A = this chain, B = another copy of it.
């Protein structure tokens, strides 16, 4: 590409970086309103039990307590995708995190003391924690209104081609069960909600939602407050990763407490509460069958999945739709069948988490690709290359791949990890590779997948970009500033990005599906072009030159034929403003991607482009202890264009870190539904010291629909790490760990079994 950019492709530091590292950023936790009360929630200490009595009398008498509510005192308000989650439970509790009562008091200590004064009498019920057990006839019913512990609306079956025919035509068919465990988001900032009514009944909510416009809608539905009476403002959030995508009971509870007391109420989760009461990644039991011809042509893939939904359904219950896309479309595969059951258990409930099901699906698919390659006697890397998706492909699910850097990613990751030299060399060292496929140009779930932007440029050239999109720490404000700076031709320092206040910012569906750079970026670019046009018209009028002959670059307006002589653009804006028939610079943009909703058979092109990646891992296994050490990760990502290489690298590093924890260490340990490690001392989140060197490889395919060629790339970084490690462990010591995480215990056990011949 011969294009020259001023701000695109540059390592611009995050606009909010300094404020965050120096502690000046004002998080929701820092917010105080006059007369504000502190809300707290009493949660179940049983996995499954009838509630016989809730005695709040002592709590109500505690000085400083302003409200105590239980499920019996409020309307039947339910949240979540399946509306199966009462914000306060009545009759019975179904998991340890269940909300039983909420209090508001003048300070946090008093609120905590009030919780301790509430007496709950329970009668334990038989509980079920294993989804396969939960599916059996006669299992304790979690929700009595259903006949089985299955979320029927997510019992889905997808196919393309004829998978039986595919297996019949295969030379090799293998079949395995792989399982994945429960992990936590571990956002550095816990969840919060601050609700305040004015006396006209207008509600303002400052919360940690990644999807403020959805939060507004869901709070309206839950609380029967007209949506136009609700203003949701996203305060500064300490990370989202999907846990802040949904509306959980604490948001409407906070609003109810504010409504009842007539005072602002803030609920802030403690770290333990964040572990216990935030959703988790879905544990999955997966039976996968794959077939290929001798020459390595992939012929068929059949997947049956059982998801442990926990006791309630959040939007996370819809992750099978994302898993489906990887199962149908990662690598060219002509025949696919996919069946999924989402099963209720008495465990804490699962939700959305970076990748939205894709880390699970990618682990399953790319572990099996490796196993199939070994079965075929092929180099696993060559096997992947042979079946890699290519630009111009339309997959069986109707996914239209316009730009595709998958082969290049595989090749570059393999090269970086010294694949040819290091593969199969023994010595307890090995290399593995895995790829991934994800939406990269939005995801049409809601009727609109668009984003609006308005831009105001003041008399001093200060550009205020008011975007619908949500920066939850991922850095989207910085990318939007770069896009606007580039498109307008003004310095990035002159740009302020204002994000998510539903009363002020134009609509956007929210920060999910790695869509913000692509969708909000395109929207911002359109608004920037509109602003530039207005500025050049102001200049044209002021200086009596046709606007078509003018250009704006690096803050200077010049005649195209004489680019070296310019005037500051703010001067032209003032000239436009201070004319009798003048005007301000007030611009707008709206971008809706050219995509479709899926049809009833789950077919359709829901994203305007797709992101590909391959990661290779080198590991060393200590055969005495079973411990796996990752020596290096090579992460090659097709990002369309890296608008800000530093931000791209940060996303990849974060994704690899998350994938490393998922692959090796992290697991929420439950005992009969009770979480045993809800803190950073016991939950093994990788720290900086645990990180291997990462070779960050950016593959640019310059997407024609993306803003300056970019694709979404936030979730993909997290998807292929765990299977790459699993595949490397196999290469190193010849044992295949089919159950995440790959703990030392599991490796040691497998090595022993292998030695004793119990395992192939």
A462 close to B199 (CB less than 8 A) = no
A466 close to B504 (CB less than 8 A) = yes
A33 in contact (CB, < 8 A): yes
A464 in contact (CB, < 8 A): yes
A454 in contact (CB, < 8 A): yes
Cα of A151 to Cα of B433 in the assembled complex, Å = 81
Looking at A26, A462, A586, the one whose CB has the most chain B CB atoms below 10 A away is A586
A198 contacts across to B, CB distance below 8 A = 18-19, 24
Q: Which of A472-522 contact B (CB under 8 A)?
A: 494, 496, 498, 502-507
B34 close to A507 (CB less than 8 A) = no
What is the CB-to-nearest-CB distance from A597 to chain B, in angstroms, rounded to a whole number?
10
B228 close to A448 (CB less than 8 A) = no
A578 close to B228 (CB less than 8 A) = no
Cα of A199 to Cα of B21 in the assembled complex, Å = 10
A504 close to B464 (CB less than 8 A) = yes
A437 in contact (CB, < 8 A): no
What is the CB-to-nearest-CB distance from A328 to chain B, in angstroms, rounded to a whole number?
24
Chain B residue nearest to A581 in the complex (CB): B592
**Which of B22, B504, B580 makes the CB contact (< 8 A) with A456?**
B504
Q: Count of chain A residues with Cβ under 8 Å from any Cβ of B?
A: 53
B32 close to A458 (CB less than 8 A) = no
A92 in contact (CB, < 8 A): no
What is the CB-to-nearest-CB distance from A68 to chain B, in angstroms, rounded to a whole number?
23
Cα of A549 to Cα of B312 in the assembled complex, Å = 50
Cα of A231 to Cα of B495 in the assembled complex, Å = 12
A756 in contact (CB, < 8 A): no
Q: Which of A451-475 contact B (CB under 8 A)?
A: 452, 454, 456, 458-462, 464, 466
Cα of A496 to Cα of B201 in the assembled complex, Å = 13
B504 close to A461 (CB less than 8 A) = no
A322 in contact (CB, < 8 A): no
A184-226 contact mask (Cβ, 8 Å, vs B): 1 or 0: 0000000000000011101000000000000000001000001
**Which of B15, B226, B454, B496 makes the CB contact (< 8 A) with A586?**
B454
User: From DSSP, what is the main secondary structure of chain A's interface residues?
Assistant: loop
A506 close to B227 (CB less than 8 A) = no
Chain B residue nearest to A198 in the complex (CB): B19
A227 close to B32 (CB less than 8 A) = no
A30 close to B34 (CB less than 8 A) = yes
What is the CB-to-nearest-CB distance from A445 to chain B, in angstroms, rounded to a whole number?
13
A578 contacts across to B, CB distance below 8 A = 447-448
**Which of B448, B459, B461, B498 makes the CB contact (< 8 A) with A503?**
B498
Cα of A496 to Cα of B216 in the assembled complex, Å = 16
> With A228-B458, A456-B506, A498-B503 given, is the CB distance from A199 to B583 under 8 Å?
no
A563 in contact (CB, < 8 A): no
A19 contacts across to B, CB distance below 8 A = 198-200
B462 close to A227 (CB less than 8 A) = yes
Cα of A450 to Cα of B586 in the assembled complex, Å = 14
Chain B residue nearest to A578 in the complex (CB): B447
A684 in contact (CB, < 8 A): no
> With A198-B24, A586-B590, A588-B586 given, is the CB distance from A502 to B227 under 8 Å?
no
A448 close to B582 (CB less than 8 A) = yes
Q: Which of A578-631 contact B (CB under 8 A)?
A: 578, 580-584, 586, 588, 590, 592, 594
A448 contacts across to B, CB distance below 8 A = 577-578, 582
Cα of A36 to Cα of B560 in the assembled complex, Å = 50
B586 close to A452 (CB less than 8 A) = yes
> With A504-B498, A582-B448, A583-B590 given, is the CB distance from A460 to B228 under 8 Å?
yes
A590 contacts across to B, CB distance below 8 A = 582-584, 586
Q: Which of A536-551 contact B (CB under 8 A)?
A: none
B26 close to A462 (CB less than 8 A) = no
Cα of A581 to Cα of B450 in the assembled complex, Å = 10
Cα of A503 to Cα of B529 in the assembled complex, Å = 20
A498 contacts across to B, CB distance below 8 A = 503-504
What is the CB-to-nearest-CB distance from A170 to chain B, in angstroms, rounded to a whole number?
41
A506 close to B452 (CB less than 8 A) = no
A32 contacts across to B, CB distance below 8 A = 32
Cα of A368 to Cα of B166 in the assembled complex, Å = 106
What is the CB-to-nearest-CB distance from A583 to chain B, in angstroms, rounded to a whole number?
5
Cα of A198 to Cα of B18 in the assembled complex, Å = 8
Q: What are 6 sample pairs from A and B whose C-beta atoms fall under 8 A apart? A: A447-B577, A456-B505, A459-B507, A462-B503, A498-B503, A506-B586
What 8 A-B pairs are tightest by C-beta distance, nearest first?
A228-B462, A18-B199, A447-B578, A227-B460, A452-B584, A228-B460, A586-B588, A30-B34
Extra inter-chain contacts (13) besides given A447-B578, A450-B584, A452-B586, CB under 8 Å:
A19-B200, A30-B34, A32-B32, A226-B460, A228-B461, A228-B494, A456-B505, A458-B502, A462-B503, A464-B503, A464-B504, A581-B592, A588-B588
